[in-house]
Amino acid sequence: MYKIPAFGDIPAEFHVSLLRDCPNSKAIYSSKAVGEPPLFLSASVFYAIKDAIISAREESGLKGTFRLDSPATPERIRNACVDIFTKLCPSAEPGTFKPWSVRV
């Protein structure tokens, strides 16, 4: 299984030296292959949150699909888990509730 290196994979003592003026003819526009960790590691957090929500919903007796938009804010996570308090909130579907506001 391929796993992306994480901070726990770095040794306690780590010395690096860089070569000066050494072009890499095989790289595309001098790329250094740094795009994968920022893209995939951030996605893993979102899907870990989604798995946690699935577990919370199963403990509450709920099964089936649900919608979780990105970014996964605390409000979106709480509403996706569904409990007695979140059932009191109106649905976010357009046309299913009347918007309101309070003047201060």
Residues identified as active-site? 36
**Cβ distance 67 to 91 under 8 Å?**
no
The CB-based long-range contact list for 85-91 (8 Å cut-off, 24+ gap) reads none
